[in-house]
Chain A
């Protein structure tokens, strides 16, 4: 219970306490010394009791409130806190009917912006004025992709739960045509959807359009569709080798030496280098991390290999088999792995001092676009 405790100092206390007790109930009356005593009265009567005490000429040494209520009233008595509470309350009341957040659940092809944008545009933000049944109906009527919709308001959030119909892809977006990814000859076409842009026996180059993403109906109208087809190509893997009857080739003699450098942050801090006495050479470099600690010390090895030139004299007819093998190897490298070879042929072109061989491997490749 809320009470106020007074500690008073003055004379003739018994007489005056009798007067007070005739009007107000006194509790826990204690005499501390001859002229000093303390007592409690109800918090609600404290002001009147205080007035009486002062009228009797007592000095009030202490006035203390007990209980929760006096603290609340004291806090509320602070003008700033009271103002803040009132302002907060008014702001809360003002914004409480407003829907601040929109949430869309269950969307797959539709986007949040589409559905939420539609609701924001066509319905009030006042949650008390908003008819969720009307929102449900409007969403259902305006989005044919939706088979089920439910709208609820939870707090200040409008939750739209939808379930979309299983519609063909044609309903959504634009479609890209099918583009050739390699050169070849079209040998067979199995069109599933779309419009073919090439014919059988037609040669196509990489980047050419194979299937267009639409079809024309009986009225000549263009209907977008996801292109789909199975196309078989005859593809050519080519390899070329050029042979010279007289040729200068370079090879390593087997002589070599090594220079070493120790580097820190790219700067050489130690080097063991010797002068090169090779007229013709090639180099190989290796960099090895010496430590994996904070200091990035690296060892740079430079190996010098001595080279020599020598003359090779071999006419094409003598080396033909070897050259054809090389050219075939190159053609196979330019073909798909595990390709079933349909045919292979080569052409030889002679020129002064040599000849070039062009080897072609013909194989089939089927692509399936769905």
Chain B
């Protein structure tokens, strides 16, 4: 039996494994598809993504939200780097 979602998953596996990051005015950074929090401090937050790591630098930062797939950082964001 044809299953729409299974079909999408099988044909677009690469697309689902990717991540995306949205930075809103350097005040909130929203990331989908993270693979886990690596470090957390007021000045530096880093988390794993497929094929690397994202490092966010700033001031008075904290995690507004942390779930299995999403991460929402709030604070004064100065720099976002991908390694």
> A residues near B, CB below 8 A?
13-15, 17-18, 21-23, 25-31, 37, 39
Partner of A26, one of B38, B42, B67: B67
Rounded to whole angstroms, the CA-CA distance of A180 and B66 in the bound complex is: 108
Query: Are A31 and B66 touching (Cβ within 8 A)?
Result: no
Q: Mark B21-39, 1 if CB is under 8 A from A, else 0.
A: 0000000000000001111
B36 A26 Cβ-Cβ under 8 A: no
A31 touches B64 (CB 8 A): no
Q: Which residues of B sit under 8 angstroms from A17, Cβ to Cβ?
A: 37, 40, 66
Is the pair B66, A26 in contact by a Cβ cutoff of 8 Å? yes
Task: Say whether A26 contacts B62, CB under 8 Å.
Answer: no
Taking the closest CB of chain A, its distance from the CB of B22, in whole angstroms, is: 18
* Chain B residues, CB < 8 A from A39: 63, 66
A22 to B62, CA, bound (A): 19
Q: Which of B36, B42, B62 contacts A18 (CB 8 A)?
A: B36
B55 vs chain A, min Cβ distance (A): 13
What's the minimum C-beta distance from A185 to chain B, rounded to whole angstroms? 116
| A33 closest partner in B (C-beta) | B41
Tell yes or no: B7 within 8 A of A by CB. no
Q: List 23 A-B contacts (CB under 8 A).
A: A14-B38, A15-B36, A17-B37, A18-B37, A21-B37, A21-B66, A21-B67, A21-B68, A22-B68, A23-B68, A25-B65, A25-B67, A27-B65, A27-B66, A28-B63, A28-B64, A29-B40, A29-B62, A29-B63, A29-B66, A31-B40, A31-B41, A39-B63
Given A18-B36, A18-B37, A37-B40, does the pair A31, B62 have CB atoms closer than 8 Å?
A: yes
The residue on B at minimum CB distance from A24 is: B67
Q: Is the CB of A26 within 8 A of B63?
A: yes
- Shortest C-beta distance, B35 to chain A (Å), equals 9
Closest to B40 in A: A31
A30 B65 Cβ-Cβ under 8 A: no
Report the minimum CB–CB distance from A171 to chain B (whole Å).
Answer: 86
Across-interface contacts of B62 in A (CB, < 8 A): 28-31
Give residues 1-53 of B contacting A (CB, 8 Å).
36-42
Name the A residues within 8 Å of B64 (CB-CB): 27-28
Once A and B bind, how many residue pairs between them come within 8 Å at the CB atom? 45
Which residue of B has the minimal Cβ distance to A37?
B40
A-B pairs, 9 with minimum CB distance: A29-B63, A26-B66, A30-B62, A18-B36, A21-B66, A22-B68, A14-B37, A31-B40, A25-B67
Query: Which A residues are in CB contact (< 8 Å) with B40?
Result: 13-14, 17, 29, 31, 37
Give the complex CA separation of A13 and B63 in angstroms.
Answer: 13
Determine the distance from Cα of A18 to Cα of B66 in the docked complex, in whole angstroms: 8
Q: Are the C-beta atoms of B38 and A25 separated by less than 8 Å?
A: no
Besides A29-B40, A31-B40, A31-B41, 4 more A-B contacts (Cβ < 8 Å) are A21-B37, A28-B62, A28-B64, A29-B66
Q: Which residue of B lies closest to A29 (CB)?
A: B63
Residues of A within 8 A of B68 (CB): 21-23
Chain B residues whose CB sits within 8 angstroms of the CB of A30 once the complex forms: 42, 62-63
Q: How far is the CA of A18 from the CA of B65 in the complex (A)?
A: 12
CA A14 – CA B65 in complex, angstroms?
14
With a cutoff of 8 Å between Cβ atoms, the chain B residues found around residue A25 in the complex are: 65-67
Residue of chain A at shortest CB distance from B71? A21
Q: How far is the CA of A337 from the CA of B65 in the complex (A)?
A: 108
Q: Chain B residue with minimal CB distance to A22?
A: B68
- The docked-state distance in angstroms from the alpha carbon of A15 to that of B37 is 7
Task: Give the shortest distance, in Å, between B68 (CB) and chain A (any CB).
Answer: 5
Q: Which of B38, B41, B63, B67 has the most CB of A within 10 A?
A: B63
